[in-house]
Amino acid sequence: MTTYYIAMASTKFLLEQEPIEEMLRERKRYYQENNLPIDFWLIRDLSSISEPELNKLETYLVKPMSMIVSSNKRFIDWIKLRVNYVLVDSFNSKRLHFDDNKV
């Protein structure tokens, strides 16, 4: 099982009020320049994830919600420091499912 770490917020806050997409582009470029595997994903539609542990978090946030998922705890901690108003948590899973795609 893999532990995945998440930073979650309303879609409006995460994608419109914060420069999260720019931060993720910069981070992706850094990973590519250093030949590191991409270990984070921006999920805009939580209905595409079939993880029961995430259902409990839905009560805390305004819908629609988006989240950043990573297997790297330090990366999610970095997001939390940069963005502040996100819910941070973790869950264990054999693999994430986005509809029929494995991540």
Render pLDDT for 43-98 as a digit per residue (tens, 0 to 9): 887 766 666 666 666 666 677 888 899 999 999 999 999 998 899 999 888 776 54
Return the domain boundaries, the chain. 2-94
Q: Which fold has domain 2-94?
A: Alpha-Beta Plaits (3.30.70)
Specify the length of the chain in residues.
Answer: 103
What's the confidence (pLDDT) of residue 97?
Answer: 54
Mean pLDDT (whole number) for 4-11: 92
Cα dihedral 59, 62, 26, 38 sign = positive
| Global pTM exceeds 0.85 | no
Q: Look at residues 37, 40, 45, 38 and name the one whose alpha carbon lies nearest to residue 15.
A: 45
Place of tokens 């981070």: 27
